[in-house]
Amino acid sequence: KIPGGESFVEVVERVNRGMKKILDDGGENVLVVAHGGSIRAALTGFFAMDASAAWRTRIDNCSLTSLELWRDRVMLSFTNDTLHLLVEDPDLVRNLPVLI
């Protein structure tokens, strides 16, 4: 914990309050842009992981993680997807299928 900062458990609580609000108020499809630590915090909260386990989850810069709400359950569709970073033609990236 950084002096005067939050512990990871506090980050998990804060992020998950925000994610709950997004789930309650959001539309059918919602895009959330976040840092890796916030993504780990969301996964920790949604899947009741031990906080120490979150740091064994790889979240690369610019990666994509997809969560799906199904029957009031959050399901992980994919995490740390970086395929879009390998495509050199921007038109191909725009036409990549989105998994929802």
For residue 70, the model assigns a pLDDT of 82
pLDDT < 50: residue spans in the chain: 100
Residues contacting residue 47 through CB under 8 Å, at least 6 positions apart: 74, 76
Q: Which CATH architecture has domain 8-94?
A: 3-Layer(aba) Sandwich (3.40)
To the question of pTM greater than 0.75 for the whole model, the response is yes
H-state helical runs in 1-100: 8-25, 36-46, 51-54, 90-94
For residue 96, the model assigns a pLDDT of 63
- What are the residue ranges spanned by the domains of the chain? 8-94
Residues contacting residue 84 through CB under 8 Å, at least 6 positions apart: 62, 64, 93, 96
For residue 10, the model assigns a pLDDT of 94
Asked if residue 41 lies in contact with residue 12, where contact means CB atoms within 8 angstroms, the answer is: yes
